[in-house]
A and B are shown apart, each in its own frame.
Chain A
Amino acid sequence: MQRILIVEDSGTMRSLIASTLEELGEPVKVDEAENGFEALRLLPRVPYDLILTDINMPDINGLELVSFVKRDERYAGIPLVIVSTESSERDRDKGLELGADAYLVKPFDPDALRTLVVDLLGRSG
């Protein structure tokens, strides 16, 4: 069973990503974090195989989360995907510089998301 964490402040977007991933037909369990704080709570508890994060979030934004994950040796190896709109282009590039493994532009094509996730899960597992 592969475990995936979605960090995204929009509940609708979380449901959409989760439902897209559940169609993979592989045993994946998706956890949803509404903000960076919840992600920080979940990370030490669950051995994730993949993290998907938005950038624009209150309190702790996506870049801060990427920076934390990629600098902490416990989590640095987990593949991390930035899911954001095209308008955050510069921030997305910063995210990649901070160590994010890939990005996906919203609105995304469900197939593109699934392909990307399968690819990253395959690499890590």
Chain B
Amino acid sequence: MAARRKRSNSAASKAQSEFVPEAEEILERMRDDLGLLAETVDGDLNPETINGLFRSAHSLKGLSGMFGQEAMSELAHHLEDLLDRLRMGRAVLDRAGLALFDESVTMAATALEKIGDESEAAALAEGIADLIGRIEAWNAAPRAEAVPVVPELDVPPALLRALTEYEEHRLSDNLERGRGIYVIDADFEIASFEEGLHEIQSAIREVGEVLSTLPSPGGSLESHIRFSLLTATELDKGALVGRLDLADNAIQVARAPLGTAKTEASAPQGASASHDDGQTEAKAAAARAEPEIAEPGTLKSISDTVRVDIRKLDELMNLVGELAIQRSAVQQIASKLAMDPATHRIGTDLAKVHKTLERKLQELQSGVLEVRMVPLRQVFDKLTRVARRLRLDLEKEARLEIEGADTELDKLIVEELIDPLMHVIRNAFDHAIEPADEREAAGKPREGLIQIVASQRGNDVLITVSDDGRGIDAEKVRARAVEAGLVTAESDLTRSETLDLVFHPGLSTRDEVTETSGRGVGMDVVRSNIGALGGLVDISSEVGQGTTLTITLPITLAIIQALLVRVGEHRFAIPLNSIRETLLVEDSDLQRTDGRQLMNLRGEALPLCRLADEFDLDTPETGKSYAVVLGVGDARLGLLVDHLDGQQDTVIKPIQGPIASVRGIAGATEMGDKGAVLVLDVSALVEDVVRKGEVS
């Protein structure tokens, strides 16, 4: 009992901690929907957008009510009421109404932020009460009470009986508009019915409206499930059959469209494209009643957010990057001038101006970067859904826990993360987590645990995915790698080097090894996906205890800090986030063993690579050089160069032509007076040297 009580309390506090993020999500959705409405408020409103808003207000009311947030619940209640009238055609939306919605969402967001802040509670409650008063005043505008009319229709009674009040209204509205009403029967395999159903639903929405989706009981086939979709469209049956690519007998006509039925060629793009005289007239009347509000263009923007094409942000980011390069040119001129006694004064003045320029430029850069940042929540929410699906499909007892969903990353990176993370989660469910009985026998809880934790570390974001499953047997991985010819039987590999082999394409694509090693197929693809984002993947695992995958990503792809190095006459840039340290080394520090060049770094052997040899460059023998210690995950490599030329902000640009395919080059960057400089692909360099070491 005590244990149960404890679990319950934690479940209750889990609910408590879920409340604020979920309410935030609802408000975010409402903002998006209001944005859509704002675009069409003078035309026909999309019933689905209004209904979506209604559902959001409804959920917010229920949630805030359960958590004792009475003011917010009351506000949501009024919004819900208003939206209900709108979706039922009992009220007409105008700009004043839209502005009220907008204000309400902002108010609710503020109230959410201030939860627990007693000092603000009174002022907030007053603000909400005032807003509710204005909503009621707007709400009080006269409206026609429409009674849903559902005439005799050739529709199965079960379908009609299960219609909600709103769906009844949509049916009668569509009937009034003379649209055709159809019952579409569709049969799917139970394993994949969501996809099939969504496909048919979205095909219908292109030409009309789905009024109701009713699963049919007890098919003779256990593996199949049937749905009846009540559908309204202006298309005639022939056109609809063609459009949906269904058999003729899958569509029953409940009522054919009235008047001039639309054939495929003249089909409208969505139900909202058609016009309704009644509603337009009512809107005109509302406009006459409130002329100062109805005049478009005289109002403030009703939404305080804008949507921006990410490419525009890319352009801005590039400009900022180029400005940063010009800035360093100014800095150099300033210090040249300051060194010369004749121009010392002007040089120091310029240096001061440069300081301000530098600061403002940094602010500009972080401002643009911030706009591109989105929380990982977007990806994590998708993963949660995938995990729920997997749990149902695989009948594995495992749960996914997520931490750090508020961690922010560049939008482009976040989008590219979905696939690799999904893959990793799927592997964990498929292979890593043992069946419940096996777990119990091993003394583990029956339910497996997969954890994703994200956090920011300086300019990196760290995402770890860990499971408490069967872990990877390094010996088996090694044996398989030897068999596949990736390493020799004599290779002296550390445990982490061995585990790292699961990322090798020759190994990770073979499922027979991964079945037994606990990690599934395609880990090489995961690594290359993450690598393309400038990120790193590491793995650690204990047999019987589980596996942890650590993904390190740069916060943004756009501008990176780089170290400039020189080899002879040639300059290269190395991304600073992969540099662990730099050392001045004498030739006498270097050792050669088994064809590998090494040096002793605090008691550990550091493999070395001379950049000049890597790219066949001429370089004078000086007897000393600099070792730039690169780190990719746990692997370390000392890169030997002649000079270090300092740090610089760089914008990496892809290069075209033959050099683009040279391994070890990630791109090029413009360096002001120094011309173009090649940027090294650190992960490729490290991988090559480490692998060379393995086979030698």
Contact = CB atoms under 8 A, between A and B. Distances in A.
Contact of A25 (B1, B18, B73, B216): B1
Interface string B1-45: 100110111011011001100100000000000000000000000
Contacts, number: 127
Contacts of B190: 40-41, 44
7 contacts: A12-B15, A12-B63, A13-B15, A15-B14, A44-B190, A56-B58, A72-B217
Contacts of A107: 62, 65-66, 73
Nearest to A21: B8
B193 A40 contact: yes
A60 interface: yes
Residue from B5, B7, B15, B393 whose CB has the most chain A CB atoms within 10 Å: B15
Interface in A71-105: 71-74, 85, 87-88, 90-91, 94, 97-98
Contacts of A64: 162, 212-215
A11 B11 CA distance: 12
Nearest to A83: B62
B218 A85 contact: no
Contacts of B163: 63, 94
B62 A106 contact: yes
State the 6 A-B residue pairs at the shortest beta-carbon distance, nearest first.
A72-B217, A19-B11, A15-B15, A107-B65, A67-B162, A16-B15
A94 B217 CA distance: 19
A22 B9 CA distance: 10
Interface of A: 9-13, 15-16, 18-20, 22-23, 25, 34, 36-38, 40-42, 44-45, 55-56, 58-61, 63-68, 71-74, 85, 87-88, 90-91, 94, 97-98, 106-108
A9 to B, nearest CB: 7
A47 to B, nearest CB: 14
A88 B413 CA distance: 42
Contacts of A65: 215
Q: Majority SS of interface residues in chain A?
A: helix
Contacts of A23: 4-5, 8
B299 to A, nearest CB: 31
A20 B9 CA distance: 9
Contacts of A38: 388, 392
Given A10-B62, A25-B4, A38-B388, A67 B222 contact: no
Contacts of B81: 87
B395 interface: yes
B335 interface: no
Contacts of A55: 164
B164 A11 contact: no
A71 B11 contact: no
Interface in B37-68: 55, 58-59, 61-63, 65-66
Contacts of A34: 385, 388
B107 to A, nearest CB: 20
A67 B58 contact: no
A11 B8 contact: no
Contacts of A42: 392
B247 to A, nearest CB: 23
Contacts of B197: 37, 59
Interface of B: 1, 4-5, 7-9, 11-12, 14-15, 18-19, 22, 55, 58-59, 61-63, 65-66, 73, 77, 80-81, 84, 158, 161-165, 190, 193-194, 197, 212-218, 222, 225, 385, 388, 392-393, 395
A98 B4 CA distance: 36
A110 B350 CA distance: 71
A13 to B, nearest CB: 7
B12 A60 contact: no
B225 to A, nearest CB: 6
Contacts of B212: 64
A76 B612 CA distance: 77
B114 to A, nearest CB: 19
B164 A91 contact: yes
Contacts of A10: 22, 59, 62-63
Contacts of A18: 11
A10 B67 CA distance: 13
Given A12-B19, A68-B217, A71-B217, A56 B55 contact: yes
Contacts of B19: 12
B18 A63 contact: no
A68 B214 contact: yes
B14 A40 contact: no
A68 B73 CA distance: 32
A72 B215 CA distance: 10
A108 B77 CA distance: 16
Contact of A94 (B55, B161, B218): B161
B86 to A, nearest CB: 14
B351 to A, nearest CB: 56
A19 B8 contact: yes
B15 A106 contact: no
Contacts of B15: 12-13, 15-16, 19
A97 B58 contact: no
A38 B389 CA distance: 8
Contacts of A44: 190, 222
Nearest to A90: B165
B445 to A, nearest CB: 14
A91 B5 contact: no
Residue from A22, A44, A55, A97 whose CB has the most chain B CB atoms within 10 Å: A22
A37 B193 contact: yes
Contacts of A74: 218
Contacts of A19: 8-9, 11-12, 14-15
A107 B162 CA distance: 24
Contact of B59 (A9, A41, A72): A9
Contact of B11 (A15, A59, A68): A15
Given A11-B22, A34-B388, A67 B164 contact: no
A12 B18 contact: yes
A71 to B, nearest CB: 4
A123 B547 CA distance: 46
